[in-house]
């Protein structure tokens, strides 16, 4: 009897909340709000809030074209793998210090790896599609991955150290639940002076990791015909679009966990609404505003920007935390 209950609970976590269904709905909503806000900032009416959902449904009904020279298996499975790894990540993110679907001793490291898989999936899919545009796109995607991965790792280490100093005798924790616990007791990370550069760095990392507009060098539709996605149509393309939206939600949610963790009440529904509101605010700051005001960067500009400014910000934070500030 007990086992059945536990299995049911797991299924609920994986399929409904906070896994599959909830993440998809939240991601679609977030993407819709983002598009609407961009339009409003450019003084347009903008698409309806449900536009991302319409786009996806339409793509479900389109023909799937597989290029003759493509590696069929890799071409079709790459989008699914990318999406799946993102959905698994959603299980690991805690909503409050007490509520988390899956929790481990070192889930920060797992999240770091899981967040890399979608980018790898895009690269594999592009490489197997036998298109020169996808080839250019995948090399650019690799540059982007290299650009943001190092600052992201340092930001995560900084947060873990900060929380670990207080919560763990070894001085280091790799558990997101502990990070939340720390913030519940000592106030959100963003209120600590030494963590503000890291939070800024994270705000810059999110749009590049998502592939949002000024940093979408790999999918530049005006230069290289959508780059990595050039050969995709129909259902696989829908998976990529969906992965894009889900990534937006996961990363903003991760930002909330790392830096805005203290503002929780313990009631799951209230926490949930708070989290969604924070996600919208973070999306507005780091995805919508750059999208509305910036033109696309060149490849080497992206790389330089991340390895100087963003990395510098992250390192400053790391140094301050290690000095015990």
Partner 1 sequence: MLRKLIDESAAKSPWIYHINAGSCNGCDIELVSVLTPRYDAERCGFKLTGSPRHADIVVVSGPITVQTRDRVVRTLSQVPEPKVVVALGSCPRSGNVFKGSYSIDGPLDKYCHVDVSVAGCTPKPEAIIAGLAKAAEILKEKRKEMH
**CB of 129 vs partner 1, minimal distance in Å:** 10
**CB of 22 vs partner 1, minimal distance in Å:** 20
**CB of 127 vs partner 1, minimal distance in Å:** 17
Cβ closest to partner 1, residue 63 vs residue 169: 63
**CB of 55 vs partner 1, minimal distance in Å:** 5
Instruction: Give how far Cα 195 sits from Cα of 163, 185, 255, 258, Å.
Output: 11, 16, 12, 10
Cβ closest to partner 1, residue 41 vs residue 184: 41
The structure tokens listed for 150 are 């190092």
Instruction: Give how far Cα 21 sits from Cα of 25, 53, 246, Å.
Output: 6, 13, 11
The residue behind tokens 């230069």 is: 223
Residues in the site for partner 1, rule: CB under 8 A? 39, 42-48, 51, 53-58, 60-65, 133, 220-222, 224-226, 229-234, 237
**CB of 98 vs partner 1, minimal distance in Å:** 37
Cβ closest to partner 1, residue 71 vs residue 116: 71
Q: Beta-carbon neighbour count of residue 100 at 10 Å?
A: 21
Cβ closest to partner 1, residue 57 vs residue 270: 57
Residues 6+ apart with CB under 8 A from 29: 49, 276
Cβ closest to partner 1, residue 229 vs residue 320: 229
Cβ closest to partner 1, residue 52 vs residue 197: 52
Tell me if 8 sits within 8 A of 2, measured CB to CB: no
What is the DSSP code (8-state) at residue 261? T
The residue behind tokens 């998502």 is: 210
Tell me if 231 sits within 8 A of 67, measured CB to CB: yes
Q: Beta-carbon neighbour count of residue 190 at 10 Å?
A: 17
**CB of 77 vs partner 1, minimal distance in Å:** 18
């Amino acid at each position: 009897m007990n086992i059945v209950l536990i299995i049911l609970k797991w299924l609920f976590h994986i399929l409904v909340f906070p896994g599959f269904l909830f993440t998809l709905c939240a991601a679609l909503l977030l993407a819709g709000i983002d598009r609407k806000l961009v339009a409003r900032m450019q003084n347009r009416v903008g698409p309806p809030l449900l536009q991302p959902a319409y786009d996806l449904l339409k793509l479900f009904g389109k023909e799937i074209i597989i290029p003759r020279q493509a590696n069929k298996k890799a071409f079709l499975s790459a989008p699914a793998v990318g999406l799946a790894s993102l959905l698994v990540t959603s299980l690991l993110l805690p909503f409050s210090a007490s509520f988390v679907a899956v929790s481990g001793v070192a889930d920060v490291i797992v999240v770091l790896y899981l967040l890399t898989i979608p980018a790898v999936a895009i690269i594999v899919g592009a490489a197997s599609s036998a298109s020169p545009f996808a080839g250019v796109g995948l090399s650019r995607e690799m540059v982007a991955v290299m650009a943001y991965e190092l600052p992201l790792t340092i930001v995560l280490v900084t947060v873990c150290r900060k929380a670990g100093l207080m919560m763990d005798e070894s001085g280091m924790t790799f558990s997101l639940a502990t990070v939340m616990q720390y913030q519940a007791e000592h106030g959100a990370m963003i209120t600590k002076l030494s963590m503000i550069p890291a939070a800024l760095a994270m705000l810059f990392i999110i749009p590049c990791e998502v592939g949002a507009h000024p940093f979408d060098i790999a999918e530049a539709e005006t230069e290289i015909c959508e780059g990595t996605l050039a050969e995709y149509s129909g259902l696989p393309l829908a998976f990529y679009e969906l992965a894009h939206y889900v990534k937006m939600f996961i990363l903003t949610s991760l930002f909330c966990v790392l830096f805005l963790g203290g503002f929780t009440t313990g009631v799951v529904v209230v926490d949930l609404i708070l989290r969604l509101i924070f996600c919208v605010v973070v999306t507005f700051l780091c995805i919508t505003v750059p999208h509305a005001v910036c033109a696309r960067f060149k490849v080497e500009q992206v790389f330089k920007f991340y390895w100087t400014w963003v990395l510098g910000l992250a390192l400053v934070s790391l140094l301050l935390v290690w000095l015990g500030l």
